Structures are given as structure tokens and as C-alpha cells.
Amino acid sequence: MKLISIVVPMFNEEEMAPLFIKAISEVFANIPNYDYEIVAVNDGSKDNTLNILLEEQEKNNKIVIVNLSRNFGHEPALFAGLKTAKGDAVIPMDADLQDPPEVIPELIKKWEEGYQVVNARRVSRKEDSFLKRKTAGMFYDWSDKISNKVKVPQNVANFRLIDRRPLDEILEFGEKNRVFRIQVPYVGFKVCEVLFSRPKRAKGVSKYNPKSMFSLAISSTISLTVRPLEWSIGICIFLAVICGLSWISQATFFVLKLTNVLNIGELNLWFWLIINVLLTVGFLILFVIAILSQYVAKNTIETLARPAVIIDEVIRK
Ligand code: UDP
Ligand code: MG
């Protein structure tokens, strides 16, 4: 019998954990020719998530608990789960039922047709807030523009089915800045998608805030491409042209002054022009440094070569 692993990172999901497990068990009760495991990663929850998972495990031996040594964040927690999962196919999901379990049989069906990655794409985000929809839209447009050969599918988050073969490739990656939704299109293989509409979070609150969303956007960009680094060359050329023009204007100014063509009023004009040019130049330099610093920062983390996540223990029944 083929084994399907559901991987679910949980941070303070005491309300959702039992509901999630119930929903998944119901789905698999309807497809009895597949075995399943629920790899629940407790990402250093401050609430009762771990105890509730242990209780649930008493009733259902399909649950594997991966207890992290502290809160590492959604992506590292997902990675810990993916490493632990033993399935022939693995489906990462959020605990809040925003990735509807009803879609699972469709994902498996496509997998059986021979697709190794089955993306679940959101057709509607009506239930997300205006800000979240807008920023997510901007992020997908942006990643589409900057990526080269790797095409990041629009409106596909972590929810998808991935076959053991591409998953093993991803687990081999040495990087610490792991962004699953970028790694999957990177490895390629036979890909298709199914559509679903995204419901509201069933219970509890979102663990993402504007800051963590911005940081995910930066991590994704860096994981996707080094293109912004290349832009800095273009910006520098532009900068050189501006500096050249500024020098030429100053030279012209001196010539005009020497030949008594210019009076004081015009001199003031020139003064402000030069100030503006300097400000622009300053801004552009800072902009290039800002891009560089992001890459250098991520590089520093890679150089430290610390593990992306630390599992305290894996609890099986
Ligand atoms: N999550 C996690 N660690 C964190 C933050 C979130 O494991 O530090 C989990 C969370 O429990 C949920 C999933 O990541 O299962 C997605 O989080 P959430 O639903 O809050 O994000 P949103 O849907 O608002 O993007
Ligand atoms: Mg959610």
C-alpha cells in the first residue's frame, strides 16, 4: 500500500490540531487503499499544542510528532517535517484548514496519472484580507519578473503533492535559507496543478504579520535569483553617467562665469541642481548597498553552516 505523508507545521495551534487531524482522518477513511501518516511539527509552541498532539496520538497511531527544540518559523518547521516524512508522496499543509483536505484525493489522482509535483493553486483569495491579497499579488508578479528559467507558479503556497523522487532532491540541498515554494519549481520534474478556493482560517489567528511576510519575500527572492546583484552594475553605470553630466555642467558653469555670462541668480539655480544630483547619487549608492547587504547577510548565514532546524525528538507510536 502506498504511504502518503501529510506534513503540518504547528505554532500555537492548540485549537486547530484536533480539528485538523479529524479532517485528515476523514479524508483517508474515504480512500482506504492508501496508508497515511500525519507528521505534525510542533514549532516551539507556547500553548498546549504538544500535549494535545500527544493525546491525539494515543487515539490515532498515524500521527508522528516532530518536536522542535524552539520556535524556528514556518519554513524550517516544514523542512523538519519533510525530513521526517516517510511517504511515497508528501503533502505539506497549514494547520488552519486553509488548505482544504478535500483536495487531497484530487492531488493523489494526478500523482497516480504520473505527475511528480501536483500544485494546488488558489483560484480565489476572497477570504484573505485586502492587504494580504495585494501584497501576495505583488510578490508573485515580482518573482515572475526576476526569475529566469525557474518559473514560480502563481498563487501556489506550500500546499501541493510532491513525489518522493523530487522531494529527495530538495532534501539534499545544502542551503539554510530554505523556501519550499521556490525549491519545488527549481527541481523541475513532471508538474501539473489542481485548483481550489481558499477558505478562511478555521480557528486561531494568523502567525504571519507584515514583517514576516516581507522577510519571506526577501528570502524567496534571494533563493530564486542573484539578478538584483546584477542590477547594481546597471545602477552604477547610470550613476557614472549622472556624475559625468554633473561634472560637465560644473565645468560649463565656470566657463560661463569666467566669461561674465552668468549672474548671481543663475548661480543659485546651479547650486540647487548640484545638490539634487548629489542626493540622487547618494540614494542610488545606498540602494545598491541595500541590495548587496541582503545577499551578504544570507551568505553569512550559509557560511555559518548551522543546521536550519533542530529536532528535539520524533515521537511515534
Ligand atoms: N507556523 C509555524 N511556525 C511559525 C509560524 C507559523 O509552524 O513560526 C505554521 C502555522 O501553525 C500554520 C502555518 O505555519 O500551520 C501557516 O501559518 P498561518 O496560517 O498563521 O499563516 P497564513 O495562512 O496567515 O499565511
Ligand atoms: Mg493560514
What's the pLDDT at 37? Answer: 97
Our answer on whether the CB atom of 95 is closer than 6 Å to any ligand 1 atom is yes
Summarised one tens digit per residue, pLDDT across range 222-277 is 777 777 777 777 777 787 788 788 778 777 877 777 787 766 566 666 777 787 78
Domain ranges (residues) in the chain: 2-207, 227-304
Place of cell 522542535: 68
Say if residue 315 is exposed, middle or buried (CB neighbours under 10 Å; 0-12, 13-18, 19+): middle
> Does pLDDT of 156 surpass 80?
yes
What's the pLDDT at 119? Answer: 95
What's the pLDDT at 263? Answer: 65
> Does pLDDT of 19 surpass 90?
yes
Task: List the 2-10 sheet strands across, edge first.
Answer: 191-197, 117-124, 160-163, 89-92, 2-10, 34-42, 63-68, 311-315
Predicted TM-score (pTM) of this structure: 0.75
Residue range 18-22: mean pLDDT, rounded: 95
- Give 5 or 245, the one with higher predicted confidence: 5
Gap from CA of 254 to ligand 1 centroid (Å): 63
Our answer on whether the CB atom of 11 is closer than 6 Å to any ligand 1 atom is yes
User: Would you say how long the chain is, in residues?
Assistant: 317
* pLDDT cut 70: percent of the chain above it: 95
Place of cell 478562511: 200
Q: Which ligand is nearest to the CA of 98?
A: 2
Q: Taking the chain, what is the end-to-end CA distance rounded to the nearest angstrom?
A: 20
Summarised one tens digit per residue, pLDDT across range 209-224 is 778 788 888 887 877 7
Residue range 18-47: mean pLDDT, rounded: 96
Domain 2-207 listed as CATH 3.40.630.30: no
